[in-house]
Chain A
Amino acid sequence: MTTLDPTTTADTEVSPSRSTGTNATRVIGIATVGAMAWLLLFALVLSPADVNQGESVRLMYLHLPTIWVAYLSFIVTAVASAFYLFTKNHSLGWDRLAGASAELGVAFVGLTLVVGALWGRLTWGVFWQWDPRLTTTALLFVTYIGYLAVRRLGGSHQQRAKRSAVIGLLAVLLIPLVHWSVVIWRSLHQEATILDVDGDPDIDGTMLTTVFIGMIAFTLLYVWLVMHRTRTMAMEDLLEDRGLDIALAERRAEGGAR
């Protein structure tokens, strides 16, 4: 028997479904599209060009929401990892949420770094500055790439969940230390910077609104993606379990035939 017949194994955790969409994700999906259109309207049409930066300021409406979503993802990963480890039934749902969220976090940090480098080139004249925030973010990116690699080490689902939850929580320990070290490093070795990176120029009201809309739009996108990804992961786990059961059944059938 080679077909994936849902009746061959009893699995109570996940019901087989042909899609990861539900009413909730459809509503969130439509809201995301709406919010993105709203963001485009504000970011490209309604908000003014900056006095100093000109049109390139519009990159901010991508840059700030993506880093916000990235931080949000990593917080969710840490919280979900803690819930997995410290709740009694060690539900794999928490593990999948942590994994899905970390994947999105890495993707959004990557996007932030790329957009930030382009924006930096336009406004500072350089792609990269050894600024504490940038350096911490780059290390955050690599740390979570490591976390994702740990998730792919193999073994049973529970092994994967335990290992990655521990690594997910260690990252929480690491990030403040990285940030602290980078901050004193830069404060001791301050080079002459033409532009004050931390300086908050007076942000125009429309600009602030646009940033806010961007955050809403990207948060909705995150929620939508994380729901789909968590469900895809559940399906992958299910497929793996069933694949093993099917292989066992086949071997048994071969043994019986002889």
Chain B
Amino acid sequence: MSVWRVAWLIARKDLRIEWSSRVITNQVLPFAGVTMVIFGFALDANTDVLELVAPGLVWLATMFSLLLLVQRTFAVEADDGALDAMRVAGVDARAIFFGKAIGLASQLLVLEVLLLFAAVVLYGETIQLDGAVLLVTTMISATCGLAAVGTLYGGLAAGNKGRETLLPLLTLPAVAPVLIGATRAVESALGTGVAELSDGWQWVSLLTVFAIAFGVGGALAFGPLIDE
């Protein structure tokens, strides 16, 4: 079986597990929602400020939730030694990496759409039609980068006690370019910042390069990192 075929099977398995366990809908999504509400408290529910900083808050909430999702997606593998079993069964590490990353990216996309919706409802954000293409492209490219970084460091932190605390320390500095790029691009798309719509596209190129770099780098590095 080709790497991509195996990756697809792993992604489908992950999504099925998440669909039946409901951990995402019962825990991660409410967490993300609460984050959006408490950002409102922190900024004193000042609608002018909230509208201005909403893109950043959406991505910040996404990144916090990413940490939970990554822990969740590897807890599933570590519980019964499933990750080791896959390696022993001769499954290519690259396939595991891409499979987990695709599964993670799908969940992240759903989460981002809901967070954006929350920004519209809670922060009074308006989504313009002419920025829609930029918005969707940004979300897809940023999500690919986040999923690649999350999977890579999640694999390293998986399964061993005391390693969970390592995940935020490794992940957050690594996804800083995504936070900067995605926030500015969404600002351009929504027209909240001073940036023009055309400014957003150079951020999309950064996000795309980031996603490719960590997609390729992660696929190469994942095997050595999870081999114990």
- In the complex, the answer to whether B156 meets A150 with C-beta atoms within 8 Å is yes
Contact B224 A170 (CB under 8 A): no
Q: Looking at chain B's contact residues, is the secondary structure mostly helix, strand, loop, or mixed?
A: helix
- Segment of A50-58, A112-120, A175-183, A196-204 in the binding face: A175-183
Contacts of A167 in B (CB 8 A): 156, 170, 225
**A163→B226 CA distance, assembly (Å):** 9
- Report whether B195 and A188 are in contact in the complex, using a CB–CB cutoff of 8 Å: yes
With most chain B CB atoms within 10 A of its CB, the pick from A163, A174, A182 is A174
A139 on interface, CB distance cutoff 8 Å: yes
Question: What is the CB-to-nearest-CB distance from B175 to chain A, in angstroms, rounded to a whole number?
Answer: 10
What residues of A have a CB within 8 angstroms of the CB of B206 in the complex? Answer: 177, 180-181, 184
Give which listed residue, B169, B176, B203, B224, contacts A166 with CB less than 8 A.
B224
Number of interface residues of B (CB under 8 A): 31
> Whose C-beta in chain A lies nearest to the C-beta of B183?
A185
The answer, yes or no, to whether A143 is at the interface (CB within 8 Å) is yes
**Distance from B87 Cβ to chain A, minimum over Cβ atoms (Å):** 14
B9 within 8 A of A: no
Residues of A within 8 A of B33 (CB): none
- Of A143, A145, A162, the contact of B174 (CB 8 Å cutoff): A143
Complex formed: what's the CA distance from A85 to B176 in Å? Answer: 27
B196: nearest chain-A partner, CB-CB: A188
With A162-B224, A173-B214 given, is the CB distance from A146 to B176 under 8 Å?
Answer: no
Chain B, 75-109, contact with A by CB distance < 8 Å: what is the 0/1 string? 00000000000000000000000000000000000
Taking a contact as CB atoms under 8 Å apart, the answer to whether B228 and A155 are in contact is yes
Assess whether A189 is interfacial by the CB under 8 Å rule. Answer: yes
Interface string of A179-220 (1 = CB under 8 A from B): 011101100110000000000000000000000000000000
Determine whether A149 belongs to the interface, using a CB cutoff of 8 Å to chain B.
yes
A166 to chain B, nearest CB (A): 5
A170 proximity list for chain B (CB < 8 A) = 152, 174, 217, 221
The complex places the Cα of A142 from the Cα of B168 at a distance, in Å, of 11
- Of B170, B195, B210, B224, which one neighbours A146 at CB under 8 angstroms? B170
Query: Which residues from A are CB-within-8-Å of B152?
Result: 170
- Contact assessment for A143 and B221 in the assembled complex, using a CB-CB cutoff below 8 Å: no
Closest residue of chain A to B161 (Cβ to Cβ) is A154
B154 adjacent to chain A (CB < 8 Å): no
Residues from chain A with a CB closer than 8 A to the CB of B160 are 153-154
Given contacts A173-B213, A180-B206, contact A143 B228 (CB under 8 A): no
With A162-B224, A163-B156, A173-B217 as contacts: A150 and B170 at CB distance below 8 Å: yes
Bound complex: CA A180 to CA B166 (Å)? 26
State whether the Cβ of A15 lies closer than 8 Å to any Cβ in chain B: no
Residues on A facing B (Cβ under 8 Å): 85, 139, 142-143, 145-146, 149-150, 153-155, 159, 162-163, 166-167, 169-170, 173-174, 177-178, 180-182, 184-185, 188-189
A-B contacts, 18 of them at CB < 8 A, read: A139-B176, A142-B172, A143-B173, A146-B173, A150-B166, A153-B160, A153-B166, A155-B228, A163-B225, A166-B221, A170-B152, A170-B174, A173-B217, A178-B176, A181-B181, A181-B206, A181-B210, A188-B195
Which 3 pairs across A and B sit closest by C-beta, in order of nearness? A181-B177, A142-B173, A146-B170
Chain B interface (Cβ within 8 Å of chain A)?
A: 152, 156, 160, 163, 166, 169-170, 172-174, 176-177, 180-181, 184, 194-195, 199, 202-203, 206, 209-210, 213-214, 217, 221, 224-225, 227-228
